Amino acid sequence: MKKARWKVFIGIIIFFILSIFIFIKWTDIRLLATSKLESETPISSKDVILGMKGQNVVQKDTIVIPVKENDQIETDPSKTEPIVELDDPDEVSENNDNHEQDTEKSSEKEESIVEINNEEKYVALTFDDGPTPDFTPQILEILKNYDAKATFFMLGVQVKQHPQIVQQVADADHEIGNHTQNHVDLTKISSGEIREELTKSNQQIKEASGDAPSLIRPPFGVYNNNLEQIASENNTSIIMWSVDTRDWERNPSYVVDTVKKKVKSGSIVLMHDTKHTTVEALPEVMNYLKKNGYQFVTVSELLALQTLNGIGPFYGNK
């Protein structure tokens, strides 16, 4: 009987020692996991938000949507965008009077406030290559019908031709981004020329709308280290897309179907305000998105929401 008690006593001691050992190991594993998670936090997204508030953050703030499942970024210029015919290409090479690097911070810009709700779905519609008198005003009308905000990545040459449309876009509280002066492939020109392309367009947009853009969308969706560096110096973010509607080459039903198939909360949808196809497809696109609970936000609003709530696909450094 005494022996049996002794055995129970030894058993209890061993049980306690094992428990303590397991507890220590488990805590270690948890600490390790936590530090790993923290190291994967998208530091750059925070920088972008600070940058957009005009604070003095000159960190690398390039934003790209990483390739994820069927959220592929297409970066082959022949596939992603048309070669844009400019209204007046000759005029482009004139007016080289100001090559100064733009250091304008968007500090005067008021922060847009979007109610944050994790249950909600958000989408940022973007329109490239305008403004155009034939299509941009029609798109503005459609957006207004849905009380929707969108982002227009404008070309300097178009802005120069149609400053009154730029003003309309700004007055309706849409966001305006920089799509370069002449729609050139920025990977094929020197840093100096990249600066010139961006600065000129920036100035045109600021003159017409009152605000300098804080976003760049590189033509054809191609960019290199030089552009990242220049974007970073100017506190601007490079914005790609996650849903390519191919509106410039396909028909309206293709555009609608593509959105239906690929959109999810946090998507940035690429369209162009240069095509009748887009104007035709847009009401159905918006109907679908609205019916499915999406809120239409600008790109900057979307970035802010994603940083705060982790909504949609992960954004961060390339």
Which residues are identified as catalytic?
Answer: 128, 272
Q: Give the CB-nearest residue to Zn ion.
A: 128
Nearest to 63 by CA among 110, 124, 117: 124
CB 60 within 8 A of CB 317: yes
Nearest to 303 by CA among 226, 238, 255: 238
How are beta strands 151-154 and 121-128 bridged, if at all? parallel
Complex with Zn ion: residue 215 or 304, whichever CB lies closer: 215
Place of tokens 């790609």: 240
Within 10 Å of residue 300's Cβ, how many Cβ atoms?
26
Look at the alpha carbons of 244, 247, 250, 256 in this order and tell me if their dihedral is positive or negative.
positive
Distance CA(267)–CA(241), nearest Å, equals 7
Binding site for Zn ion (CB under 5 A): 81, 128-129, 219
Complex with Zn ion: residue 174 or 275, whichever CB lies closer: 275
Least spacing, CB of residue 119 vs Zn ion, in Å: 34
Least spacing, CB of residue 195 vs Zn ion, in Å: 19
Complex with Zn ion: residue 222 or 311, whichever CB lies closer: 222
Least spacing, CB of residue 200 vs Zn ion, in Å: 16
Complex with Zn ion: residue 44 or 277, whichever CB lies closer: 277
Which residues, in sequence order, are bridge partners of residue 216? 178, 238
Least spacing, CB of residue 73 vs Zn ion, in Å: 15
Distance CA(48)–CA(75), nearest Å, equals 23
